[in-house]
A and B are shown apart, each in its own frame.
Chain A
Amino acid sequence: MAQQLLEVKDLKTQFFTRDGVVRAVDGVSFELEAGETLGLVGESGCGKSVTALSLMRLIPQPPGRIVQGSIIFDGQDVLKMDDDEVRGIRGNNIAMIFQDPMTSLNPVLTISRQISEALELHLKMDKSEARKRTVELLDLVGIPGAKKRLDGYPHQFSGGMRQRVMIAMALSCNPKLILADEPTTALDVTIQAQILDLLKNLAREFRTAFILITHDLGVVAGMTQRIHVMYGGKIVEKADTTELFANPKMPYTWGLLRSIPRLDEKRKGKLLPIEGLPPDLIAPPPGCRFEPRCQYRRDVCKEKEPELRHIPNAKPDHEARCWGTQEGGWLVDTDWHREIGDTRVIEEIKQEVAQVTLEGTAPGAGTPPPPPSPVN
């Protein structure tokens, strides 16, 4: 087994709020080899971003705190480092790309100053060296006329350009790991593809490992080697990218896949949304976290939480957290394309969702809510 670059074990990050303890990340474990690419997929509020911030120890504190677990990066536990050591890692060994390039660049500082800051901090470059390197970096990420644009301010750049600047910032010190937190969500589709391509090529060129966080399975499809699906603060499925798309083994992943429009879809069927919302992480369901929204649920799902375990009929490193698809489960042979679950259960879920909506909006109203509209 190769030396792992990153080993996260049983990470628990919690936010202590007035309403209770939010278990945003609840026992997440995964590894990453040097140069490997990993996709972290899940709906909003599943703990993906908190996981990323935890890796850099950037959880706002209070209210947040990493209460348990270890993050071994390059042989050292990030959680046991003092502040100076962590700062030495941030930007230098682990870099981050944010979701919205409109807000993650300082509006009153020039591009060159923002990029060269990490260079001056970590590589102890002087001003002119840093400037030279900044031009190289901007060229690398495909900003035309880099030299002329060096002293520009963020508002003079378009969204895609700014994300390129962010990538240049992240790459500046040749980090071993880049955390990309929804790097394309704020960009329009044509630019998305460009940025993803750029990221992929650069990661390959510099052998940088990266973790791509997204809610869009379509984004990770061509990008990463492995995918971890997160739900309710836990990893619910781990697999190779190709394996995950060919042979997903968790009803939540099925739901995610069903809600992506496909060009090669033969049926003229509608997109199927996953009904309801992710669980309240203050008081998560006692059993499987996906149970309240799962069309395939059985009683056992409500009672006991399944472990993340290897799945029959799948590659050896394919794991899922589901009673149904695990050894001896009732979903082992289910073809998720055809069988969309028990119709009675689906009705039940819809009613429960409607109930929640009613309670939330018009208490005591007797009229049924409008049917949930299919995704787009």
Chain B
Amino acid sequence: MATTAATAGRIAATPGAARASRSLWSNAWWKLRRDRLTIGAFILLTIFALLAAAAPLLSEYVFHYRFAQQDLLHTYEKPQFDNLAYLLGTDEIGRSQVVRLLYGGQVSLGVGFVAALVNLTVGIAVGLTAGYFRGVIDDGVTFVITTLNGIPQIYLFLIIAALWQPGPYVLIAIIGLLNWTGITLYVRGQTFSLREREFITAAHTIGARDRRIMFRHILPNVLPLIFVLAAIDVGAIILLESALSFLGFGILPPTPSWGNMLTNGASYFVRAWWLVVSPGVMIFLTVLCLYLIGDGLRDALDPRLKTH
């Protein structure tokens, strides 16, 4: 019996025939699992997101302190373990820094991810269209992009933020609708080269429509690296939100965001260093995690870095 099995194995030595097919994604996952740094970054980011999402519950049941609650008798409390609400100290009007940090995370992470989603949607759609149809459509898109890129971004955001009363939703709209140019340019460039490939001609020969070719044949080829761009984009948006809020044009107090907590804390830096350090560290860690994830995803997904 053993001999027949061995013989059968030798005859049917068509590699891959017996093994299950490995897709791009399972390949990527296989590589990613060995990349401890990326996994670590991913776990940490997930924890941040969960904590932010659970902010109301935590403030109610763990810290027993609402985010707007003031206590003028306990201003500038140092970080301490005696009272959980003072875990990260209190600010100039006695608000709990840790609770505000959690709520701030909701805003900062929320704005980051949702605005990045808007960016991606607009960027992919516009990039694919411009790259695929070329000609006048591409000229129009390129014109808009170069114009947008020609204006220093921070001024643009400042002007718009000054015109509209900025809140989380306005901020998402502003950033989401202005920050898509990078993704568009990338997708457009990739589409340019992909549309000339033979397999796209092959897709034409089976009678596929333009939309089908764009979304079913070209997009899957661009998608892996888009995830990388998205991770970096989220990080950049969180920084941008912080910067805007820091300058006083982003999320307005009393709604906390990591950015405006930083602004606020800066005034009391000498007296209460913890007010600056805690949001700063959160921004730093979140952005670092996102960049690490982007980097890890690129290593896992980029076929040019494939070793086999």
Contact = CB atoms under 8 A, between A and B. Distances in A.
Interface of A: 56, 58, 87-92, 95-96, 98, 100, 103-110, 117-118, 121-122, 144-145, 148-149, 151-153, 156, 166, 169
A281 to B, nearest CB: 21
Nearest to B194: A106
Interface string B37-54: 000000000000000000
Given A106-B220, A110-B23, 9 more contacts: A58-B204, A90-B206, A91-B207, A91-B208, A110-B21, A118-B207, A121-B206, A122-B207, A156-B22
22 contacts: A56-B204, A56-B205, A87-B209, A91-B208, A95-B205, A95-B206, A96-B205, A105-B199, A106-B220, A106-B221, A107-B199, A108-B24, A110-B21, A117-B216, A122-B207, A144-B17, A149-B21, A153-B23, A153-B24, A156-B16, A166-B202, A169-B206
B14 interface: yes
Contacts of B207: 87-92, 118, 121-122
Interface in B187-208: 197-199, 201-208
B16 A152 contact: yes
A287 B41 CA distance: 73
Q: B interface, how many residues as a size bin?
A: 20 to 34
A88 B209 CA distance: 10
A121 B206 CA distance: 8
Given A98-B198, A108-B221, A148 B17 contact: yes
Contacts of A96: 202, 205
Contact of B18 (A107, A108, A148): A148
B205 A90 contact: yes
A96 B134 CA distance: 26
A148 B14 CA distance: 12
Interface of B: 14, 16-18, 21-24, 197-199, 201-209, 216-217, 220-221, 223, 303
Given A87-B207, A107-B221, A145-B14, A100 B198 contact: yes
Contacts of B303: 107
Contacts of B23: 110, 151, 153
When A and B form their complex, which 6 residue pairs have the shortest distance between CB atoms, in order from nearest? A91-B206, A90-B207, A91-B207, A118-B206, A152-B21, A96-B205
B206 A103 contact: no
Nearest to A93: B207
B14 A103 contact: no
Nearest to A122: B207
Contacts of A108: 24, 220-221, 223
Most buried by A among B16, B199, B201: B199
Contacts of B202: 96, 98, 104-106, 166, 169
Nearest to B210: A83
Residue picked from B198, B202, B206, B220, most chain A C-beta under 10 Å: B206
Contacts of A122: 207
A68 B223 CA distance: 41
B205 A106 contact: no
Nearest to A111: B21
A42 B16 CA distance: 39
A148 B18 CA distance: 7
Contacts of B221: 106-108
B201 A109 contact: no
Most B Cβ at <10 Å: residue of A95, A108, A149: A108
A103 B18 CA distance: 25
Nearest to A92: B207
A91 to B, nearest CB: 3
Contact of A117 (B14, B17, B208): B208
A117 B206 contact: yes
A106 B206 contact: no
B16 A144 contact: no
Contacts of A109: 216-217, 220
Contacts of A103: 197-199
A32 B207 CA distance: 22
Contacts of B206: 90-91, 95, 117-118, 121, 169
Contacts of B197: 103
Contacts of B201: 58, 98, 104
Nearest to A62: B135
A43 B221 CA distance: 34
Contacts of A148: 17-18, 21
Contacts of A110: 21, 23
A104 B217 CA distance: 12
Nearest to B134: A62
Contacts of B24: 108, 153
Contacts of B220: 106, 108-109
A149 B14 CA distance: 11
A153 B24 CA distance: 9
Q: Which of the listed residues B22, B197, B207, B217 has the most CB atoms from chain A within 10 Å of its own CB?
A: B207
A104 B201 CA distance: 8
